[in-house]
Amino acid sequence: MEFGKFIDHTLLKPNATVDDIKNLCDEAKQYNFYSVCVNSYYAALADSQLRNTDIKVCAVVGFPFGAQKASVKAFEAKQCAQDCADEIDMVLNVGMLKSGYYDLIEEEIRMVKNAIEERTLKVIFENCYLTDEQKKIACNLSIKAGADFIKTSTGFGTGGATLADVELMKKEVGDRIKIKASGGIRDRETAVAFIRAGAERIGTSSGIKILSE
């Protein structure tokens, strides 16, 4: 598989403009990335720019803090699906996970998955705020709830992806679910290291630099 197909070409800055999103999509076509990853408002725009290509549209939900009600996340995800997003990256409720409300976490993941049906769901943990045990619990809750990927971070927390976290997640889940590494991955050497550690997708705004190295 060509290297660009590991990459979700990402632009999630709050000041991203319509022209910025169009440019992101043009770059994705030029470099043949797997997808573009955008804020939910821009899912329809990205879809309009990427029609008649095999590049997917990924939209984030509950971003970046995950502190919305499960019903709100499910509604946002359903709207993204109606706007032709192929994949959803949702932030789980970090505070509720840390509080031990595991049934709530499992239920919100399941609600979002049900809302998007056959589309791919990735669950963002925001590992910088979690203990290793909480990361393992989140792994298993995501699997039980029917998610397709687990993801290290939003890129908006106090820390991004680490090799130690991907290795821990891979050891916990084996081949039961896929892993996306995201947050602070800015060069090819680092991206390759994450793939070797078990990540099957890389979320980065530095995809062009990575492919150019």
Domain positions in the chain? 3-212
What's the DSSP call for residue 200?
Answer: S
Instruction: Please count the other Cβ atoms lying within 10 Å of the Cβ belonging to residue 132.
Output: 12
Question: Coil, strand, or helix at residue 160?
Answer: coil
Closest by Cα among 136, 125, 143 to 180: 125
Catalytic-role residue among 89, 113, 135, 165: 89
Q: To which H or E segment does residue 54 belong?
A: none
CB 87 within 8 A of CB 122: yes
In CATH terms, the fold of domain 3-212 is TIM Barrel (3.20.20)
Catalytic (active site) residue 151: yes
SS3 of residue 48 by DSSP: helix
Q: Compute CA distances 106 → 145, 152, 158, whole Å.
A: 6, 17, 25
pLDDT in single tens digits along all 213 residues of the chain: 799 999 999 999 999 999 999 999 999 999 999 999 999 999 999 999 999 999 999 999 999 999 999 999 999 999 999 999 999 999 999 999 999 999 999 999 999 999 999 999 999 999 999 999 999 999 999 999 999 999 999 999 999 999 999 999 999 999 999 999 999 999 999 999 999 999 999 999 999 999 998
Q: Determine the length of the chain.
A: 213
Catalytic residue, from 151, 165, 170, 178: name it. 151
| Cβ atoms 147, 180 nearer than 8 A | no
Active-site annotation holds for 98 = no
pTM (2 d.p.): 0.97
Distances (CA, A) of 64 to 57, 133, 157, 180: 18, 22, 8, 16
Per-residue model confidence (pLDDT) at position 1: 73
Separation of alpha carbons 208 and 210, rounded Å: 5
Q: Do residues 180 and 211 lie in contact, with contact meaning Cβ atoms separated by under 8 Å?
A: no
Q: Which two tokens stand for residue 111?
A: 């609600």
SS3 203: strand
The single residue of 78, 135, 178, 180 carrying the catalytic annotation is 180
209 is an active site residue: no
